[in-house]
Amino acid sequence: MIDPMHSNGEPVLVQIGPLPAAPKGPKPKKMWRSLDELAGSEEFFELLQDEFPSQASELTDPASRRTFLKFMGASLGLAGVSGCVVQPAEMIVPYVKQPEELVPGKPLYFASAAPLGGYGVGVLVESHMGRPTKIEGNPAHPASLGGTDAFAQAEVLALYDPDRSQVVLHNGRVSTWDDFLAVITKARAERLAKKGAGLRILTETITSPTLAHQLRQILKTFPEAKWHVFDPVSRDHARAGAVLAFGEDVEPIHHLDKADVVLALDADFLSWGPARLKDARQFTSRRESVDGPGVNRLYVAEACPTITGAMADQRLPVSASRIAEIARAVAHGLGVEGVSPVGSNPDAAWIKAVVDDLKSHQGAALVLVGETQSAEVHALGHAINHTLGNVGKTIEYLPPIEERPGDGEGGTLLDLVEAMDRDEVESLLILGGNPVYAAPADIDFAKRLDKVPLSVHLSLHEDETTVHCHWHIPEAHFLETWGDIRAFDSSATIQQPLIAPLYGGKAAVELLEVVLNGSTKSARGIVTAFWKDSKGKDQSDSDFDTFWRETLRIGLVADTASKVREVTLKGVANLEWPQGGSGGIEILFRPDPTIWDGRFANSGWLQELPKPLTKLSWDNAALLSQRTADRLGVKAMGLHGESDMVSVVYQDRAIQLPAWIMPGHADESVTIHLGYGRLRGGTVGTGSGANAYALRTSVTPWIGVGAKVFNTGESYCLATMQHQQTMLGRNLVRTATVEEFRDHPKFAQEPDEHLSREMTLWENPDPQLRRQQGEGNAWGMTINLNTCIGCNACVVACQAENNIPVVGREQVLAGRNMHWIRIDRYFEGNDTVNPRIYHQPVPCMHCENAPCELVCPVAATTHSAEGLNEMTYNRCVGTRYCGNNCPYKVRRFNFFEYADHKTPSLKLLNNPDVTVRSRGVMEKCTYCVQRINSARIASEMEGRTRVGGNEVETACQGVCPTRAISFGNMNDPEGDVAKLKKSPRNYALLAELNTRPRTTYLAKLTNPNPEMKAE
Amino acid sequence: MAAETPQRPRPDRNEIPVLEPGHTFGTVTDKISSLVLVQPYNWRWMAGFGIAFAMTMMLLVAITYLFVYGVGVWGVNVPVMWGFAIVNFVWWIGIGHAGTLISAILLLLKQEWRTSINRFAEAMTLFAVACAGLFPLLHLGRPWLFYWLLPYPNTMDLWPQWRSPLIWDVFAVSTYATVSLIFWYVGLIPDLATLRDRASNRWARYAYGIPAMGWRGSARHWHRYRTAYLLLAGLATPLVVSVHTVVSFDFTVGIVPGWHSTIFPPYFVAGAIYSGFAMVATLSIPLRYFYKLQDFITLRHLDNMAKVMLATGLIVCYGYGMEAFTAWYGNNPYEMHQMLRSRPSGPYSHTYWMLIFCNCTVVQLFWFKWFRTNVYAVWIIAGIINIGMWLERYIIVVTSLSADFLPSSWNMYHGTKWDYMTFYGTIGLFLALIFLFIRFLPVISIVEMRELVHEREGHDATTMTAHKGKTP
């Protein structure tokens, strides 16, 4: 028999299912493959069927095909059963109506404001398909100007923090919002009957117009009720100082761009205060103006070095209790009325130089006083600015922005405590904050709180205060609810949610609405209602709608910035100056540079972020000067970070913590940062460091005199990220004074002048040639060491953008932190008394002659035509040779599975444009290649041959409050990078290795006082 | 046979013979084959193998733990991304040098004293290379992808990156391992035949017979054997130099101060021979004691090995000196810091000075014949040299990486318990293999010893042509 199929060697097609109806039109030509087919013999068709498996032949039968599919389905289902995992039901439904602007893969940005200390910084939040993943500064917002800080960057992690409180608690047991409503409604009725007697509300610093309005309404409805404000880091001293000086509270605005000479008295204005980002921008703008109005000069007198002190041209390490003396001497020298001479002062020469400099810059000088100083020093600072004629020029005053109970209304924590002692507090609402942890040690707040019959705590975390309250309500994060907040100049921003509350959290306004009206209005309703009212009743709905939309879009409520208030100085003759301390060591409490007052203790990003000056992570330490440590017989900063544990005793209370030598710290003075030693700080925050609040009293919140420090004889390893503190004479950070720069403009390039790019046996690398011809894209970066203040914002921004994991204290101790950009901090000088301090951010240099590429055995790190040193994670086998051969040591290795693949909420955090790296692969800065790619795609879609010079913004560049980092296409001569690379201050790090880095630095300029050079 | 030409005076060479007198073909064969075939398992062997086996099991535990959790269980960090693994790799490879050197180069140079130690040294080479070969695989971040270092056709259409010394390493080490294995095996064939013929146990006859590949000792067999052996010796000779040269490229190609130096290849090769001979001495002395092989491995051997150690040790010390000198003379601040500050007085200075003591100071005792021919002295000094050579690699790998260009990134490195377990585990593996080798294969080449007997016994009476065409 002729085999029909093999007779002509062609496969046979089988018709599955019923034949389709014959198409209309001309009859298709009949095609035949064999004579049997043409004849239509039965055998042929049988054979046709039998050639295939029995199941397949059934496919032609509609009924039994169904059976077959059933079997298939059943066996597939059973395959699932064998895995013993019940797959959750997931609905994959496309949009019936595609929301406008929502394109999968394209992020959207929404304006909001990130709070810190009650004040807001305008931000633009990046949202990927409904999940906020990254925060950028809002260029239109006066407190941001496009930059943000490390705290704001870490807010997305705070939002997704798996340790956030997720449920209403009643006496520690799970309860419901409805149960709480029942209780609070009953309590409300009781309080209402007593005109509010016994009702107390404790808040943190508030600038929110809606919240403040609600609180005032409550005080109206419940006349006997009281509102108390407590914030461990507040502006109490500044307020009291303003009242002393002017008789009223005013908030100063500093115009640092107009100040030629700045004197900071214990004032860390670059990292502390609601205007810190704006101040940093204005201050650093004057560091660059060599040819314009001239480089400003910063004098800083402080005890513990801060990033402000590191920027100082003349820094005076002096114990904080002596700052008042220096302020008086300066005031006296400047002829401030009513200030008597201080007497002999060891720093008279410094003071005289400062006075002379200030005098010769009247109206263009500025004196800043830090919150840590007493009200009297603040008043003196105002008087000095008045005497110098700075008011209206470098400093202006605004009516108070902070909302608080009026003077004489007893709105402090101490007033609350007194009321508690008198058993006058029946119902206490604690809105945010953690007073049990942060309250002064001399007030046993927890014990008193336990006596309150009904206490309610609203907060993001179940913390130390939660366990002492009857009710705990999970708070909604600012990224998941509506709110409003003011900036340093009073301009308000509407905070809009980017995601529904993850854990059903409630906003403070919603809780107050319950108290005020007994209603459960949503935060959105409350906030819009307030702003509608504030716009006036006669406004139409559509007008308001336009206003509302526009406000949300811009991220700023128009015309809310305060007008300048004219103030008259009362005179400072009557100020009382306390006499010198009682001996012993001075103890200084300072907010932590990375976890602030403890509120960020559970943020892995911020815990692992090295402190700008000490480079410590995961712990706080007792910071001492070398001389004081020597006198006390304390050793610290060992090769592995091992340090003696010291016991710090202050007013009969003691804490134990490791010591750390802080070069440039004042002698006989110990600084301890707040925020550590949390007992209930979440899985990340609990247990690290020592609690400085245990020593802090209500009388001396910042500076205590008469402390004692003992070496306990024990030792502890601190997780520091930099073990070598100096440059060892290597020309890494290049600096010159302004005069030297004028005489030798190429001072930064001279050391490398003998290096010739042409003296090579090999052809120049390809991207280099392309760049010379000006074709395509050539990515490059410059980092301006002159304007970098070392604030760390870039480090966290990079972490957020690039899904960089947190490794934990043990791994940092092992030397395995993962930051793609780090900030090297070097001390320079002959001793540790008053060294110069430099910051140098180091991302990947993207060398044109990259030593890492040469040694990779599998070509996992290669060079792109645009000059990027690219890392192919998939190809990496993890020999780590590239890391060894990188002279900049910017490569980071996944020694373990550092990325968190398990925690559901943290999955939402990841940037979908960036690969999450697995164990055993190398990673490093990519110049945010995902952003480059999207810009390249955009330019190609528009038919452009190259991307514009300033079209791409890296994460570190975008966040930088001082715009120290520039990035872009060097082939665009109009781009910032191309221009900056031509600067005479432009130099490459380790240029002598012929790596030809694409990241270069602009050398730092200093402007020391020539009269003080002798020092 | 230049050494044996009559006109060349050999003053005290004959004082200690390479083979004690009185041996015949029969006694040599009896003695060596009896170690395998006759001697029962004794408690010493059992105890030694037991300990080595336990250490091998510890290695397996360490490797399992490593594979489960990742390379982070070791002490490596940023900047010291290579630690014990690479130190051990280079150390073991160095030890693996003596075998081929003894077998191939000394064979070509017709150094007859090599005869009684070459088999043993070759085995040691193979086992050392096996231990060495483990580390580059283990130290990978993703060891399951090790084969990406090999050039093979693949769907990714990717080859290895040929500029990387690690690729050269793959070829150098695998070639060396292959040639060493073949060389060793070819040398074994006549002895396997002897064992096959002498074995009384049927299974042993099979076991030795199959790898003996039908050796009958015919003249044609001998002819081909000789030719192959000589060719392999010629092939292996350049490898002795190339392997450690290529291994040293891992460092010299890098730009790390302390690595980037042209002196590395010669000084690495010398160091490898130094440590290789030290290991041969360390192992052969107990071997000759426990198996009563003093007649075959004589003091003459120890004397010669000590001389090689002295010579190569001096080269190595010269290398240390020149590294420091070049750093100073070159006036490169990074090199100068590494060589003149970090090593002698930095945080690892104790390691550095211990290395100088072990490698440069102690070996000077070998200038004296008393030390060269004293069994205990040779054994102790060889042991110290083994430690010293490990420390040398530690200094090169760790101190160089711990303090390179940017002081901000400097950090210390210390091995963890898993590092030590892996290292000691490979020592266990090495010893276990040695124990098995001693038990199942002739530790001394019977064939070559018979040749030696013939040479020795016939020396006084016959002429040089004696060893042509002899049969066992």
The secondary structure of A458-521 as a DSSP string is EESS--TTGGGSSEEEEBPPTTSS-EEEE-TT--EEEE--SS--TT--B-HHHHHHHHHHS---
CB B141 to CB A893 under 8 A?
A: yes
Facing residue for A859 by CB, picked from B81, B158, B337: B158
Query: B-chain residues within 8 Å CB-CB of A722?
Result: 408-409
Facing residue for A855 by CB, picked from B143, B164, B410: B164
Residue A788 CB coordination number (10 Å): 27
CB A920 to CB B81 under 8 A?
A: no
Residue A144 pLDDT grade (very low, low, confident, very high; cuts 50, 70, 90): very high
CB A856 to CB B79 under 8 A?
A: no
The secondary structure of B55-103 as a DSSP string is HHHHHHHHHHHHHHH-GGGSS--SS----HHHHHHHHHHHHTHHHHIII
Facing residue for A895 by CB, picked from B76, B164, B166: B76
Residue in chain B nearest A815 by alpha carbon: B77
For residue A704, pLDDT beyond 70? yes
Residue A1012 CB coordination number (10 Å): 17
Strand intervals (E) in B91-215: none
Report the SS3 class of residue A134.
strand
Distance, CA of A514 to CA of B236 (rounded, Å): 89
pLDDT of amino acid B108 = 80
Distance, CA of B438 to CA of B32 (rounded, Å): 10
Facing residue for A816 by CB, picked from B78, B161, B406: B78
CB B141 to CB A815 under 8 A?
A: no
Mean pLDDT of A224-243: 92
Fill in the DSSP letter of residue A206: B
Residue A34 pLDDT grade (very low, low, confident, very high; cuts 50, 70, 90): low
Facing residue for A859 by CB, picked from B146, B161, B401: B161
Query: B-chain residues within 8 Å CB-CB of A638?
Result: none
CB A893 to CB B404 under 8 A?
A: no
pLDDT of amino acid A59 = 46
CB A855 to CB B163 under 8 A?
A: yes
Please tell me which residue, A308 or A11, carries the higher pLDDT value.
A308
Distance, CA of A878 to CA of A860 (rounded, Å): 9
**Where is A776: in which H helix or E strand?**
none
For residue A638, pLDDT beyond 80? no
Mean pLDDT of A33-49: 58
| Residue range A681-694, pLDDT digits in tens | 888 888 889 999 99
Angstroms from B138 CA to nearest CA on chain A = 10
Residue A42 pLDDT grade (very low, low, confident, very high; cuts 50, 70, 90): low
Among A498, A499, A524, which residue's Cα sits nearest to residue A510?
A524
CB B406 to CB A891 under 8 A?
A: no
| Residue range A881-922, pLDDT digits in tens | 999 999 999 999 999 999 988 888 899 999 999 999 999 999
Residue in chain A nearest B72 by alpha carbon: A895
Angstroms from B312 CA to nearest CA on chain A = 29
Report the SS3 class of residue A872.
coil
Residue A106 pLDDT grade (very low, low, confident, very high; cuts 50, 70, 90): confident
Q: In terms of C-beta density within 10 A (0-12 exposed, 13-18 middle, 19 or more buried), how is residue A78 classed? A: exposed
Query: A-chain residues within 8 Å CB-CB of B254?
Result: 851, 855, 881, 884-885
pLDDT of amino acid A50 = 54
Residue A2 pLDDT grade (very low, low, confident, very high; cuts 50, 70, 90): very low
Residue A36 pLDDT grade (very low, low, confident, very high; cuts 50, 70, 90): low
| Residue range A355-394, pLDDT digits in tens | 999 999 999 999 999 999 999 999 999 999 999 999 999 9
Report the SS3 class of residue A107.
coil
Secondary structure percentages of chain A, helix, strand, coil, to 5: 30, 20, 50
- CA dihedral (A675, A677, A678, A684) in degrees, to 10, reads 90
CB A826 to CB B337 under 8 A?
A: no
Angstroms from A734 CA to nearest CA on chain B = 14
- Residue A379 φ/ψ, nearest 5 degrees: -60, -40
Query: A-chain residues within 8 Å CB-CB of B66?
Result: none
Angstroms from B265 CA to nearest CA on chain A = 18
Query: A-chain residues within 8 Å CB-CB of B250?
Result: 881
Enumerate helices (H) and strands (E) in chain B, giving the number of each. 19, 0
pLDDT of amino acid A66 = 60
Report the SS3 class of residue A367.
strand
Facing residue for B81 by CB, picked from A640, A814, A884: A884
pLDDT of amino acid A77 = 53
Least confident of A19-28, A560-569, A617-626: A19-28
Angstroms from A683 CA to nearest CA on chain B = 22
**Where is B51: in which H helix or E strand?**
helix B43-69
CB B404 to CB A887 under 8 A?
A: yes
CB B141 to CB A824 under 8 A?
A: no
pLDDT of amino acid A539 = 78
For residue A26, pLDDT beyond 60? no
Across the A:B interface, residue pairs with CB atoms under 8 Å apart total: 169
Residue in chain B nearest A875 by alpha carbon: B148
CB B406 to CB A895 under 8 A?
A: no
- Name beta bridge partners: A431: A203, A458
CB A727 to CB B148 under 8 A?
A: no
CB A877 to CB B75 under 8 A?
A: no
Residue in chain A nearest B137 by alpha carbon: A879
Query: A-chain residues within 8 Å CB-CB of B136?
Result: 879
Least confident of A445-454, A566-575, B218-227: A566-575
Secondary structure percentages of chain B, helix, strand, coil, to 5: 75, 0, 25
Distance, CA of A555 to CA of B155 (rounded, Å): 51
Residue in chain A nearest B165 by alpha carbon: A855
Facing residue for B406 by CB, picked from A881, A888, A921: A888
Residue in chain A nearest B332 by alpha carbon: A992
Close Cβ partners of A117 (under 8 Å, ≥ 6 residues apart): A205, A231, A233, A234, A274
- Do you find a cis peptide bond into A346, omega within 30 degrees of 0? no
Please name the residue ranges forming H helices in A90-176. Answer: 150-153, 155-160
Query: B-chain residues within 8 Å CB-CB of A920?
Result: 70-71, 140-143
Which one of A842, A889, A894, A924 makes the best mutation probe of the B interface by having the most chain B beta carbons within 10 Å?
A: A889
- Name beta bridge partners: A251: A398
pLDDT of amino acid A580 = 63
pLDDT of amino acid B297 = 85
Q: Are A782 and A1000 in contact (CB under 8 A)?
A: yes
Residue A125 pLDDT grade (very low, low, confident, very high; cuts 50, 70, 90): very high
For residue A261, pLDDT beyond 60? yes
Residue B79 token pair: 């900047």
CB A877 to CB B148 under 8 A?
A: yes
For residue A120, pLDDT beyond 60? yes
CB B82 to CB A825 under 8 A?
A: no
CB B406 to CB A842 under 8 A?
A: yes
Residue A728 token pair: 């060892």
Q: How far apart are the first and last CA of chain A?
A: 112
For residue A73, pLDDT beyond 70? no
| Residue range A773-792, pLDDT digits in tens | 667 888 999 999 999 999 99
| Overall pTM surpassing 0.80 (yes/no) | yes
pLDDT of amino acid A582 = 63
- Name beta bridge partners: A782: A966, A1000
What proportion of chain A, given as a percentage, has pLDDT over 70? 88
Instruction: Give the residue ranges of chain B where pLDDT is below 70.
Output: 1-16, 456-472
Angstroms from A647 CA to nearest CA on chain B = 28
Which one of A885, A891, A994 makes the best mutation probe of the B interface by having the most chain B beta carbons within 10 Å?
A: A885
Q: Are B416 and B73 in contact (CB under 8 A)?
A: yes
For residue A879, pLDDT beyond 60? yes
Query: A-chain residues within 8 Å CB-CB of B70?
Result: 894-897, 919-920
Least confident of A21-25, A179-183, A944-948, B255-259: A21-25
Facing residue for A892 by CB, picked from B78, B159, B337: B78
pLDDT of amino acid A465 = 93
For residue A12, pLDDT beyond 50? no
Sign of torsion over alpha carbons A498, A503, A504, A508:
negative
pLDDT of amino acid A773 = 61
Q: Are A517 and A213 in contact (CB under 8 A)?
A: no
Residue B139 token pair: 């130290």
Cα A695 to Cα A537, A675, A691, B170: the distances in Å are 52, 12, 8, 62
Fill in the DSSP letter of residue B463: -
Least confident of A174-183, A398-407, A659-668, A948-957: A398-407
pLDDT of amino acid A477 = 94
Facing residue for A857 by CB, picked from B78, B160, B408: B160
Which one of B334, B411, B414 makes the best mutation probe of the A interface by having the most chain A beta carbons within 10 Å?
A: B411
